Chains A and B, each alone.
Chain A
């Protein structure tokens, strides 16, 4: 294969969406502030955010299902509205729903036709995909008899059916049992192996942590940070949480740069690992009763919560660089 020119898979150029809500008196509701984001070719990119952050809105905009108030995007080097783009991308919507009078096999057949999969290849592709998403045994059952998790599997199947270069998954793990989640993880890894780009939204952080090359954190329609998981979590790496009884904070502990929170009758301090012994000594000197010392989980979860809390309190814009 000849090397193709490297270009980003997705370039979001200030997409913005304001909904008009209310029946009689329309009020604007800004679901997405001008969003800028770039996803590189061949990476697994996680789009993280709490409920209502604007993840689904972004994906629907990119799929051309809704129209932006302003801004544009490029997908695989073309204008995002270009029909030629659609043949090369796959999309799994949030809580997917399909024509329930069709069987899984018929649905995939129909979608393969719409995606322009050549007749000769169709059968083989459908068999392969049914196997991949574990629906081979129920391929002849009408979709109205499918459970939520089975529909999710159909959804994933139809997204990869036409062997797209780039897939968009809106909460791919939702509704799946532990085995199913595992399988979807493996599937995403496999897509990456095949050189595909995966863009998925989630609020299940451990999935993002295990899979993603990079993530973006979005909150209230605004990207707070973009970066590799490691880079994002390093700010809370190597810290310990020390809890003791009372409401007193010794000056020596303050001097160590601890971040202290006083609750009813406890103090919770977060500080660098290296000061751990110094703190314990200080507490002993002051005769304060130590309750616990625990390393802070350096997970994306922590980072995420911290970041959101910070965003809530400052309520200003903290647009992060890539």
Chain B
């Protein structure tokens, strides 16, 4: 069975590149080199800590911002500009369009993260002049960040399939922020009583559990990551993204184009 998913994905990637999305890498490089030079006077241990913490946090935040800003327009902009007319009147099923868009965006972010990762390692080498075994933990943190992007992309696409870009951005950012504090939400749920307990538990289940994906602080201190967490996060991210994408498809399948 032939599918148009790869074509749609690569066109989405091409659009992002032509819209100069990758220029964010310049800002990222400036930020990182600035930080590396600034803390260059203190002890090596603290320098490493700063570079890893700051570098990986920036990788995650830059990526989330890009994911949301591109993601929210992926469907609604195509409906608004009517570029979809000549796509959906071809042998392209609506679900293929959504899935293709998702992979295009996820691909863009992966490429972007790849370049940023090179930057982080370069900065690390600049401050400590060598790599140690524990630095490999950075790959785990980057992997978790990419899993996080998959969730954010799927959510942005979900919102994009039924609301305007502005509202979608608000929804997606709120979910990202709440998701980043989902551990606090869980703690609150376990302490609360009655209705608020139910509400908090429900919310904690629905919002993406980004707390579990943030291992930056612990790997900066060279603490290992449990294999079980890697497995758990992988499954969670895939499941969550699949659910959000299914939602997007369900909504989009039955939608009248403008």
Contacts and interface: CB of A to CB of B under 8 A. Distances in A.
Contacts of B19: 101
B15 interface: yes
A93 B86 contact: yes
A66 B82 CA distance: 13
B4 to A, nearest CB: 5
Interface in B1-38: 2, 4, 7-8, 11, 14-15, 18-19
B44 interface: no
Contacts of A93: 82, 85-86, 89
Contacts of A60: 85, 257
Nearest to A115: B90
Interface residues of B, number: 25
A110 B9 CA distance: 11
A162 B93 CA distance: 18
A67 B82 contact: no
Contacts of A155: 86
B194 interface: no
B256 interface: yes
Interface in A57-96: 60, 63-67, 83-84, 86-87, 89, 91, 93, 96
A60 B83 CA distance: 14
Contacts of B91: 83-84, 86-87, 114-116
B85 A91 contact: yes
B88 A65 contact: yes
Given A93-B82, A101-B15, A114-B4, A67 B87 contact: no
B1 to A, nearest CB: 10
Contacts of A115: 90-91
- Name the residue among B83, B88, B89 with the largest chain A CB count within 10 angstroms: B89
A60 B82 CA distance: 12
B152 to A, nearest CB: 23
A158 B4 contact: no
A250 B245 CA distance: 78
B90 to A, nearest CB: 5
Contacts of A99: 11, 15, 83
B167 to A, nearest CB: 14
A146 interface: no
Contacts of B87: 111, 114
Nearest to A168: B89
- Name the residue among B81, B85, B254, B257 with the largest chain A CB count within 10 angstroms: B85
B7 A63 contact: no
B92 interface: yes
Contacts of B14: 101-102
Interface string B238-258: 000000000000000010110
B4 A96 contact: no
A128 interface: no
A115 B87 CA distance: 9
- Name the residue among A97, A111, A114, A155 with the largest chain B CB count within 10 angstroms: A114
A232 to B, nearest CB: 30
Nearest to B86: A158
Given A101-B18, A110-B7, A86 B89 contact: yes
B257 A113 contact: no
Contacts of B11: 99, 110
Given A93-B86, A101-B15, A158-B86, A67 B256 contact: yes
A65 B257 contact: yes
Contacts of A114: 4, 7-8, 87, 90-92
A66 B89 contact: no
A168 B89 CA distance: 10
Given A66-B257, A116-B2, A111 B83 contact: no
A97 B86 CA distance: 9
B161 to A, nearest CB: 15
Nearest to B4: A114
A65 B15 contact: no
Contacts of B90: 86-87, 111, 114-115, 162
A96 B85 contact: yes
Contact of B93 (A66, A83, A101): A83
A67 B81 contact: no
A73 to B, nearest CB: 14
Nearest to B2: A116
B232 to A, nearest CB: 38
Contacts of B2: 116
Given A67-B256, A115-B91, A116-B91, A91 B86 contact: yes
B7 A113 contact: yes
A47 B18 CA distance: 40
Contacts of B81: 97
Interface string A1-45: 000000000000000000000000000000000000000000000
Given A111-B87, A114-B90, A116-B91, 18 more contacts: A65-B84, A65-B85, A65-B88, A66-B256, A67-B254, A67-B256, A83-B91, A83-B93, A87-B91, A96-B82, A97-B83, A102-B14, A110-B7, A111-B86, A114-B92, A155-B86, A158-B86, A162-B90
Q: Which 7 A-B pairs have the closest CB atoms?
A: A91-B89, A66-B256, A101-B18, A86-B91, A93-B85, A63-B89, A113-B7
Interface of A: 60, 63-67, 83-84, 86-87, 89, 91, 93, 96-99, 101-102, 110-111, 113-116, 155, 158, 162
